[in-house]
Structures are given as structure tokens and as C-alpha cells.
Amino acid sequence: MLAAPKLTPGCSFHLFDNGEDREEYVLASADGRQFRVSALAHRILARLDGETTLDQIADELAGDSISVTPEQLRSLLEEKYLKLGVIEDADAPSVPGRTAVRRRPGFPMLLALPLVPQRLVGVLAGGLHYLYLPALALPLLALVAWTHALVYSTRLEVRGLGPESYLWITLLCLLSILVHELGHAAAVRRFGGTPGTIGWGLYLLLPTFFADVSQLWRFPRRQRMVVDLGGAYFQLLVFAVYAVLALSTGNRELLATCHLIDVMVLMALNPLFHFDGYWFLADYLAVPKLQAMAFRAVRNALRKVAGRPVEPLGLPPMRPLPRAVFWSYSALASVFLVAVGWLIYRYLSNVVLTLPVVVPQAIAGVADAVRDGEPVAFLVRLMTAFFLVAFPATAAIGLVLYVLRLARLCAGYLRRCRSGAPQGG
Amino acid sequence: MDHKKPEILQALLADLTPEELEPRLELQVFVDPMTLLAQANQNQNQNQNQNQDA
């Protein structure tokens, strides 16, 4: 590293709302990754302009009673930041034409492909963000409530819905999901940000749509929470439109889709998986890695009961209500973690018995539709066949991961018991 | 200066350690409408049968 290192062009700092008075920053790298850094790290990194030497920075820090030698500073920067690509590395071989690559989402997203380009998302979000104006949002929410009352006082007759109806319902559901994702993007735009792409992928093996709102880490928590709920808000607006059309025309497909939209919204708000509800709760509590922190909190509580030493959790200061919410979530998530293995096992043991009968029937149905030249029946039966396999396969992957995690925990416990070391970590 | 003390350096090291923030994708799983509606249909049939039996 040079005597006067330089921050990589394209890096930027943003104040991080961590829910406490301690100042922290988000360091955004040119390739789209983001890091939470302390005020001191921000202070040091912000001085890396290619002209200020490490000796000068060390002298400045010494003036504030932070004692570090230039060599130690160099070593710290090399160890912690050089590998992140946020500091220009004079020793690294230069690659002409090298472009920034955004970090791809990892597991459990097995696949993530862009569907609506970022530029188009920006244009659409630019036109829709006015729906967040309070003068518009409040009457629209009242409309959502009114249409719910109407829909749930109308009996839905699902018998007699044919393949064509199912295809229409699927398309209407897909449209509502796309609007859901646009809801997140429009909220990002509302608060002056630039929304990312909207895409689709596989969450394990379940088809999933997503809006990339990674820029959200730079927003105040209240704005992050609005963005988290923005998808549900927009999808419920679609509910209202479908409901008005369904009740004025008597269309059963639209009415059925309204019910399905509510199911999807409730699923999205479930905080136990990494969906909108999870992020909302994480932002409300100012705990970015909420799930990991929740499990650590329960483990600490159990260790305390057993009279063993515990490490501090590092939770931000919380008022009584958020504290109660955090502990309720921690207990619920832990119970769910214990129950999920059993639930998946029960589901799979039922499904596996029926699969050898049902899957050949579904495939034969698809083949019949091809032979008879019925495109609608073909699409509907193909989708049925896909979901017949996709749901159990997703559950099977989940069960394998669950068992592996348990095995790892047990192995770690046994290892610590044998070595006689205190059980932590 | 007491910068040679290892505990001070450790504290500095901890303070300077960045934490990567995970990419935020707001997800919505596509629910198979046929499965859900078939379930609703089954429930309706069961309710109707129960009403008839009663």
C-alpha cells in the first residue's frame, strides 16, 4: 500500500441510522457493496485522498488521544479494508476495462434474474411515488378497507372455475406481485433514492419476485419502514381495483384473486422468513441482523438461567415496547426453528406417499393437452406439475439444511465438551 | 504514547472492523393459485356436506 493511500473512486459515505446516539456510517463501495463502519473508521477513510499520508493521519489521531502508529494504521487498513476493494491497491495488477460488479444475492436465493431494468423501474417509480403523499395515501387506505368489507361480505364460489379461469387468476396474481415490487421501488424514489431492478428468482425452489432496495441502508429508519410496507400498500391498492371491478361485473376470477392477494400480503408480512415483515421489524428495532441476534439473545438467556457467563448482545438501547417486541420475536423465532423441522417432516411424509401417483397423472395431463392442442389447459397443467414438485423439493432442501445446522451445533457442543473449554460462541 | 499496549490496539481494531450489510431484496413468493383455490373448494364442499348432514 502507498504511503498516501486513496479511497477507490465511486466510494461514498452515508450516515447510518442505528437507533442510538453513537455515530456510524454506511460505506458504499463502487461495486454496490455496503459496509457499516464506525465514526473513527469514517474519519480515517475519509482522509484517504491520495495526498494525506498515514503519518499525517496518525498525527491527527494522536491530537485526539487516539494513539496509533502509521505502521499500525497501515496494517489495520490492509487487513480490514484493502480486501474489500475500497482502497486503491498499488500492488494489485491493474485490469484494463475492469467494471464494477454488483454483489449477487446469495443463499437461499438459488437464482436471481433481472426482469424490469433499473432505468424502467426508475421511470415507473417516478410516476407512482405520489401515491405516498399523505393526502392521497389516507383516502386510498380507506378505499382498501371499504373494498375489504365488501369482498368478505360476498360469497366466493370457487367450484366450477375451469382451466381458463385459473390462467386468468394466475396472470392477475402476477400483475399484483409486480405492482407490489413497484410499491417498494416507488417508496425508495419518494425518499430521494434510486431503486434497483425488479427481478424474479427462486427462493430455494419457490418462484419469487424481488425488488432490489439495497440503497435502503442509507435511509433513516422511519423511511426504511415505509419502504418495507410499500409493497403491501401497493398490492392492496390492486386489491381495491380488482374488488371494484369484481363487484361491479360479478367476475369470479377477480374476486378469487382478491382473496389470494390477501394471502400473499399476509405471507409477505410474516417476519419469520426474510420477507417484508422481517425487514420492517429489523428496521423498527434497529437490528440489521435481527434473526441471528434473536437466536443469540435466547441462547444468552438460557445460559444465564444455567448460571453460565454470557457475552454482551450488543443490542441498541430500546424502550420498553421495542424491547418487548424483540423478546417476543426471539421466543417466537426460536419456537418456530424447533417446530419447523417437525412440520416439514410431517408435510413431506404425507406428500411423498401421494407423489408417485399424482406426478405421473399431472405429466399425463400435460401430454394430453399437447395432443389435444389445448394451449390453456397445457399451461395450467404444466404449472400444476411444476408446483407439485417444487413445494416438496423446497421443503426437502429446507429439512436437509435444518438437519445439517443441528448436526453442526451438536458437533460444536461435543467438541467443546471434549476440550473442556467454556461453552460459548 | 501507549500505542504499544496490545489491548488498545485490539480495541482500535474492533472499532475499525467494518460489518457488511447484506443486499436487501424485498421478496414476494408466488403462491400457486390453483393449490390455494383447490383447498378453498375442498373446504367449501366439506362445509356444505356438514350442513346437509346437520
Q: How do residues B4-52 score in pLDDT, each as one tens digit? A: 566 777 777 788 899 999 889 999 988 888 878 877 777 777 777 887 7
Report which listed range, A352-361, A368-377, A396-405, B8-17, is most confident.
Answer: A368-377
Average pLDDT over every residue of A71-85 = 89
Residue A65 belongs to what domain range?
Answer: 12-84
Assess whether A124 and A172 both reside in one domain: yes
Residue A151 has pLDDT above 90, yes or no: yes
**Shortest Cα–Cα distance, A184 to chain B (Å):** 8
Residue B51 touches partner A, C-beta closer than 8 Å: no
Assess whether A153 and A35 both reside in one domain: no
Residue A287 touches partner B, C-beta closer than 8 Å: no
pLDDT at A163: 82
Assess: ipTM above 0.90.
Answer: no
Query: Which residues on A lie below 8 Å from B24 (Cβ)?
Result: 212-214, 216-217, 279
Domain boundary among A68, A84, A100: A84
- Crossing angle of helices A276-285 and A221-249, in 10° steps, is 150
Q: What is the DSSP string of A214-265?
A: GGGGGS-HHHHHHHHHHHHHHHHHHHHHHHHHHHHHT-HHHHHHHHHHHHHH
Residue A100 resides in a domain:
no
Residue A169 resides in a domain:
yes
Contact assignment for A69 to B3 by CB distance below 8 Å: yes
Average pLDDT over every residue of A92-102 = 50
Query: Which residues on A lie below 8 Å from B20 (Cβ)?
Result: 33-36
Contact assignment for B37 to A169 by CB distance below 8 Å: yes
pLDDT at B5: 61
pLDDT at B1: 44
pLDDT at A313: 85
Assess whether A367 and A268 both reside in one domain: no
Give the integer Cα–Cα distance in Å for A95 and A124: 36
Average pLDDT over every residue of A248-258 = 94
Assess whether A64 and A127 both reside in one domain: no
Average pLDDT over every residue of A131-160 = 93
C-alpha pair distances (Å), A404 with each of A342, A397, A399, A411, B18: 15, 11, 9, 10, 29
Residue A91 has pLDDT above 80, yes or no: no
Give the integer Cα–Cα distance in Å for A378 and A256: 22
Assess whether A133 and A66 both reside in one domain: no
pLDDT at A420: 62
How far from chain centre, in Å, is Cα A317?
24
- A vs B, Cβ pairs < 8 A, gives 159
Assess whether A68 and A131 both reside in one domain: no
Average pLDDT, rounded, for chain A: 89
Residue A1 resides in a domain:
no
pTM: 0.85
Residue-wise pLDDT for A394-405, tens only, equals 888 878 877 887
Q: Is residue A188 exposed (0-12), middle (13-18) or buried (19+ Cβ within 10 Å)? A: buried
Residue-wise pLDDT for A17-38, tens only, equals 999 889 999 999 988 899 999 9
Average pLDDT over every residue of A231-241 = 98
Residue A310, phi then psi, degrees to nearest 5: -125, 150
Assess whether A150 and A193 both reside in one domain: yes
pLDDT at A284: 97
Share of chain A above pLDDT 90, in %: 58
Give the B window 9-48 contacts with A, CB below 8 Å. 9, 12-13, 15-37, 40-41, 44-45
Residue A397 resides in a domain:
yes
Residue A103 touches partner B, C-beta closer than 8 Å: yes
pLDDT band at A325 (very low <50, low <70, confident <90, very high): very high
Query: Which residues on A lie below 8 Å from B2 (Cβ)?
Result: 67
Assess whether A68 and A186 both reside in one domain: no
Query: Which residues on B lie below 8 Å from A80 (Cβ)?
Result: 13, 16-18
Work out how many domains chain A is built from and give that number: 3
Contact assignment for B18 to A80 by CB distance below 8 Å: yes
Domain boundary among A233, A259, A285: A285
C-alpha pair distances (Å), A287 with each of A12, A13, A56, A316: 23, 20, 36, 8
Give the integer Cα–Cα distance in Å for A232 and A275: 11
Contact assignment for B33 to A173 by CB distance below 8 Å: yes
**Closest CB to A279 among B24, B32, B41:** B24
Contact assignment for A384 to B34 by CB distance below 8 Å: yes
Chain B residue closest in CA terms to A82:
B18
